Amino acid sequence: MKLEVVTTGRTIEAAVSAAAEDLGADVSEVEYEVLEHPRKGFLGFGETLAKVRVTYYPPPEKNALNFVRKLIEDMQIDASAELCEPTDSAGDITIYITGKDAGVLIGHHGDTLDALQYLVNLAANKRDEDSKYPYTRIIVDVENYRAKREETLRRLARNMANKVLRYGKSITLEPMNPYERRIIHSAVQNVEGVTTTSVGVEGNRRVVISLLEKPSYRSRGSGRRQ
| Topology (CATH) of 60-143 | GMP Synthetase; Chain A, domain 3 (3.30.300)
* Residue 213: predicted pLDDT: 80
**How many CA within 13 A on the CB side of residue 54?**
29
* Residue 44: predicted pLDDT: 63
CB 108 within 8 A of CB 145: no
Give the chain's residues under pLDDT 50. 217, 219-226
* Residue 222: predicted pLDDT: 45
3-class DSSP state for residue 89? Answer: coil
CATH 3.30.450.90 for domain 148-211, yes or no, is no
Separation of alpha carbons 203 and 2, rounded Å = 36
CB 82 within 8 A of CB 138: no
List residues bridging with 31 in a β-sheet. 55
Q: What is the CA radius of gyration of the chain?
A: 28
In what helix (H) or strand (E) does residue 51 lie, and over which residues does it extend?
Answer: strand 50-56
What residue segments make up the domains of the chain, in order of their start? 3-56, 60-143, 148-211
* Residue 88: predicted pLDDT: 58
